[in-house]
Amino acid sequence: MTLSIGPVMLDIAGTQLTDEEATLLASPAVAGVILFSRNIDDAFQVRELCASIRQVNPALLIAIDQEGGRVQRLVTGVTRLPPMAGFGQLAQREGQTVAVSVARDTGWLLGMEMAAVGVDFSFAPVLDVDSDRCPAIGNRAFSDDPDMVAALAGAFIEGLREAGMASVGKHFPGHGHVALDSHLTLPVDDRSFKEIESIDLVPFRHLAPHLTAIMPAHVCYPAFDDRPAGFSPSWLGLLRESLGFKGVVISDDLSMKGAHGAGTPLARAEMALAAGCDMVLICNDPDGARQAVAGFEGRELGGRGLSRLRFGRARPSLEALEALGRWRKIHARLAAMCELAERQQ
């Protein structure tokens, strides 16, 4: 059995791993599995699913989109999380100091609960600045103030780190100022680089040294480069050289329409890796994922630096977490924030 992993993270069809999927996951080109709602019944079933994935290869990474609000894949058996905009609103009501403390506790709680069910990391936090224009972002963003985004997301990252979990900031260099959704098309942000730098890059500039990983956007910023950020050596070079980012770069889902201009799934994956990504996501496209995995087999890619995404501590149990005073306190606070968010809809 190989204990190495490659550059491709993919998804599976249901709540249990099939024999065909297990064979695919055994490929040395596979980095791991991202879980979606269709893979999930409740926390205990997810724990069993994660265990079955690791029986194929203990080195495989398991990820999830567990941001809160409308992007929370696992709901039953764990804490319900409010949209991140709720933390910006909390700062307005009760002050930034309170909101930062709650954001830090929330990062800790998220990290501990995901670790308890067997997940290595969540694709969080969102570092986009909300311009009230982008349907794909909206209340997923902490705030429309870039400095507030940096403060709240920074606290959230601290909480994740305290729990022993990696952080993944997205969507570099900022998805919040385009009106279109990159799941459906390729958005173009026509602003000057100076404007992007003074707003959208602020959270990334503050937090790049503290993030484990960063996910670039499927958005074009022609004032800097005609290529989408995730396929752009210029943008990813700026991330490494000007912002000092030393972590892992993970492509956004290459099956999204915003990535289709790069060609076949294998061509998209090759272009993303050539631009500077270390891992590529291919989701909701089983044939495309298999094509990419087959195309990378035999190549010495090695999943560069991906081991830092793995949860490296003893995993807690959900039952033990619920007995902790810190868990009970933040659980109650988040329930109240969720109720407020529902009333605002």
85-113: average pLDDT = 98
Spatial distance between the Cα atoms of 200 and 145, rounded to a whole number of angstroms: 10
pLDDT of res. 184: 78
What is each CA distance from 65 to 122, 168, 196, 220, 226, in whole angstroms? 5, 10, 26, 23, 29
Quick: pLDDT tens for 124-165.
Answer: 999 999 998 888 899 999 999 999 999 999 999 999 999 999
b/e per residue 196-205 (b: at least 16 CB within 10 A): bbebbbbbbb
Q: Is residue 66 classed as helix, strand or coil in its secondary structure?
A: strand
Spatial distance between the Cα atoms of 133 and 28, rounded to a whole number of angstroms: 41
Pairing status of strand 66-68 against strand 168-172: unpaired
Catalytic residue, chosen from 144, 145, 183, 210, is 183
Catalytic residue, chosen from 252, 253, 278, 331, is 252
Element (H, E) at 113: helix 96-117
119-128: average pLDDT = 98
Looking at residue 129, its amino acid is V
N-terminal to C-terminal alpha carbon distance within the chain: 50
What mean pLDDT value characterizes the chain? 94
Residue 246 is assigned to a ligand binding site: no
300-308: average pLDDT = 75
Residue 66 has pLDDT above 90, yes or no: yes
Six-digit token pair at 236?
Answer: 């990813």
Residue 140 is assigned to a ligand binding site: yes
Strand partners, 340: none
Residue 204 has pLDDT above 90, yes or no: yes
- When pLDDT is cut at 50, 70 and 90, the band that residue 303 belongs to is low
For 30, phi then psi, to 5°, come to -90, 135
Spatial distance between the Cα atoms of 245 and 262, rounded to a whole number of angstroms: 25
Within a 13 Å sphere around the CA of 339, how many CA atoms are in the beta-carbon half?
6
* Backbone conformation region of residue 68, classed left if phi is above 0, alpha if psi is from -120 to 50, else beta: left
Q: Is residue 203 classed as helix, strand or coil in its secondary structure?
A: helix
Active site (annotated) includes residue 252: yes
Looking at residue 16, its amino acid is Q
Active site (annotated) includes residue 175: no
Percent of the chain scored above 90 by pLDDT?
Answer: 88
46-75: average pLDDT = 97
Six-digit token pair at 264?
Answer: 């076949």
Please report the domains of the chain, with CATH numbers, ordered by start residue. 70-277+305-344 (3.20.20.300)
Q: Which range is least confidently modeled, 12-21, 67-76, 259-268?
A: 259-268
pTM: 0.96
Q: Which range is least confidently modeled, 146-155, 256-265, 278-287, 331-340?
A: 256-265
* Backbone conformation region of residue 170, classed left if phi is above 0, alpha if psi is from -120 to 50, else beta: beta
Spatial distance between the Cα atoms of 60 and 47, rounded to a whole number of angstroms: 15
Strand partners, 63: 34, 121
Quick: pLDDT tens for 240-264.
Answer: 999 999 999 999 999 888 777 778 9
Spatial distance between the Cα atoms of 12 and 30, rounded to a whole number of angstroms: 13
